[in-house]
Structure 1
């Protein structure tokens, strides 16, 4: 028996394939950046995204180890196969060069944020030319806005910093998911609730996904298992229960 297993292992090595004992699955390393309520080191389940990812994979028969790390490290680690799954993602065509996206598990609207009493209304990206807009460095919001290098963008590290800049009059506007904005005003800095308000008119509605590095062993099977388990959890109400823990009223 040992000899047969050794020969199989040798053959697998020579062929450059991965052999797994029946019933044995790899531990999936999932990461996301600090972006509450979608992900955060101090959040229950490390946030909505990593909580969903862990629970869906568990139903599909996989074990997940999750962590919250800076975005730059996530991108480097995913390219070097240090991390297997990235959570809290909007769809971005550039990332599909090395990541394969799952089906979405949440949707959120992206809005501008203004000081209370201002009268902005979003109509188009070009109409934002006159304003100073605080944005997260490396953040993705909406394709046209992200490409608009003619806008006066001031780069910061977090959405909370951007919102505080607007509150203090150092920028005219900022933007993010309404879930992120509301979390910041409710939990991170409640003083902002009286100083800021969401601008009418959404820039876009974005789906939240996870994505797996495209060189992960048996990637198609694993993604298929994830999507099937996600569909089951959506149908039986388990997904809604998880989402309510993070963004419910």
Structure 2
């Protein structure tokens, strides 16, 4: 018990000190071109986050993990992380985290096989297709609700790349994906290079999502979201994102 208390106090002190010297820690995932450990400035969303904090006199350190781990660490009360980036809005996430102001857009739709365009006008139409999703990703409210109640047939995988391969190989009719992510992977992932002609981005968007930072629901998180939101007003978000797409 004494060791646990000592560990808790040490971690709490580390978090306090990191904030005191104006260093903020967040988690993220490999989701190019928005975020990733090997990308310039760690990707567009992280570049925006760093610029906003820098405009307020803070430095931002972002550590990249698999998605579920990134969220779990951001949620852990004993970790040094103040939150995670980027995220879409969902009511469920909002119960556990404080959302920042929007920090960019993410055009979310479906990848489909080339030569086999899928026509749909309502979510009900999607029931006719096998659809790939990435495990634990927020997609779009109505879509996710239909997945939760079993109305839609979906196959969860661990990455967008896996979904792209399944669609190209005819194992899925379509898969949810951000258009910029799809284009980046076709252009830069060795396993997908030369295969862009085998797939298209469906002509109808599922949603044009806002991107956010999610901060812990703590007094520190409440203060940091105010600082970040004020910093966003001082930078050109669209220009920073465009230079990283």
Q: TM-score range by the shorter chain?
A: 0.7 to 0.9
Q: Which residue of the other structure, out of 211, 214, 218, is the alignment partner of 1:215?
A: 218
Q: Is the 8 A contact 1:99 1:212 kept in 2?
A: yes
- Pairwise CA RMSD of aligned residues? 2.2
Checking the alignment, whether the CA contact within 8 Å between 1:112 and 1:122 is kept in structure 2 is: no
Which secondary structure state, in structure 2, belongs to the residue aligned with residue 35 of structure 1?
A: coil
Q: Residue in 1 aligned with 2:153?
A: 152
Q: 1:133 aligns with which of 128, 131, 134?
A: 131
Aligned twin of 2:231: 229
What TM-score, normalized to structure 2?
0.85
Specify which of 193, 196, 201 is matched with residue 199 of structure 2: 196
Q: Does residue 1:43 correspond to 2:1, yes or no?
A: no
* Corresponding residue of 1:117: 115
Count matched residues.
Answer: 225
**Where does residue 173 of structure 1 map in the other structure?**
174
Q: How does 1:235-246 map to 2 (within 5 A)?
A: 239-246=237-244
Matched with 1:143 is: 141
CA distance, structure 2, for counterparts of residue 185 and residue 62 of structure 1: 35
Partner of 1:7: none
- Are the equivalent residues in 2 in contact too, given 1:30–1:50 (CA < 8 A)? no
Q: 1:26, CA displacement in angstroms? A: 4.1
Q: Aligned in 2, Cα 1:176/1:241: closer, same or farther, shift over 3 Å?
A: same
| SS class of match (2:211) | strand
Q: Distance in 1 between matches of 2:216 and 2:194?
A: 40
Residue 24 of structure 1 and its aligned partner are, at CA, apart by 4.3
Match of 1:16 in 2: none
- 2:24 aligned to 2, 24, 28, which one? 28
- Work out whether residues 46 and 67 of structure 1, in 8 Å CA contact, stay in contact via their aligned partners in 2: no
Q: Which runs of 4+ in 1 moved over 3 A?
A: 23-26
Q: Check conservation: 1:39, 1:46, Cα contact below 8 A.
A: yes
Distance 1:122 1:47 in 2: 32
Unpaired runs of at least 5, structure 2 = 1-8, 10-15
User: With structure 1 as the length reference, what TM-score do the two structures score?
Assistant: 0.83
User: SS where residue 239 of structure 2 aligns?
Assistant: helix
Map Cα deviations across residues 222-248 of structure 1 (whole Å, 9 max, x no partner): 2222111111213xxxx333212211x
CA distance 1:221–1:79, change in 2 (3 Å): closer
User: Gapped runs of 5+ residues in structure 1?
Assistant: 1-12, 14-19
Q: Distance in 2 between matches of 1:24 and 1:39?
A: 26
